[in-house]
Amino acid sequence: MGWEFENDRPIYLQIASFIERDILKGKYKVGDKLPSVREFASVADVNPNTMQKAFSELEKNNIVFSSRTSGRFVTDDEEIIQRRRVLLAEEYVDDFLIKMKEIGFDEKEITLIMEESMKGEENE
């Protein structure tokens, strides 16, 4: 069974996001060799051309790089990884805040909910 995709944006962008998140959370470390396009395409159950497009997107964002004869690798620039982690975190926070305001919470209420939630995590 392949990966689950949404209908809200192109599959290659979703694949690029999946792979990027795996890199950001450490599944693939700085400098690691990535599985081939065909391997990833088989796991995701997509056409290799779609996977190639996803890798091109990751290369465009300097998250991975190609070595002509050796395959693709995670960037060895930890600063790029850290910047992408912060950028992704900011996107998550923005989405969260938008959704909370949509259901009627103001900033003070959101802050209180977050503080309570974080206290709960500390006690676990």
**62 shares its domain with 27:** yes
Which of 76, 93, 113 is the endpoint of a domain?
76
Distance from C-alpha of 107 to C-alpha of 105, rounded to nearest angstrom: 7
Phi and psi torsions of 42, nearest 5°: -65, -45
Inter-residue contact 13 to 54 (CB < 8 Å): yes
**If you average pLDDT over residues 86-92, what whole number do you get?**
95
| Closest alpha carbon to 18 in 121, 50, 82 | 50
Specify the higher pLDDT residue, 15 or 2.
15
- pLDDT at residue 123 in the model: 66
pLDDT at 68: 85
- Contact between 57 and 12 (Cβ < 8 Å): yes
Question: In the chain, how many domains are there?
Answer: 2
pLDDT at 87 over 90: yes
Categorize the per-residue pLDDT at 69 as very low, low, confident or very high, splitting at 50, 70 and 90: confident
Q: Considering the domain boundaries, does residue 3 fall inside one? A: no
Task: Flag whether 1 is in a domain.
Answer: no
Query: Residue 4: exposed, middle, or buried by beta-carbon count in 10 A (0-12, 13-18, 19+)?
Result: exposed
Give the CATH number of the domain where residue 17 resides: 1.10.10.10
More reliable by pLDDT, 59 or 3: 59
Pair (18, 70) in one structural domain: yes
67 shares its domain with 89: no
- Summarize the confidence of residues 41-64 as an average pLDDT: 95
Q: What percent of the chain has pLDDT over 70?
A: 96
Measure the CA–CA gap between 43 and 57, rounded to whole angstroms.
19
> Do 17 and 65 have their domain in common?
yes
Sign of the four-CA dihedral 11, 13, 19, 22: negative
Domain assignment present for residue 4? The answer is no
Give the domain extent around 99: 79-122
| Nearest CA among 61, 70, 56, 53 for reference residue 12 | 53
Give the pTM.
0.82
72 & 26 share domain: yes
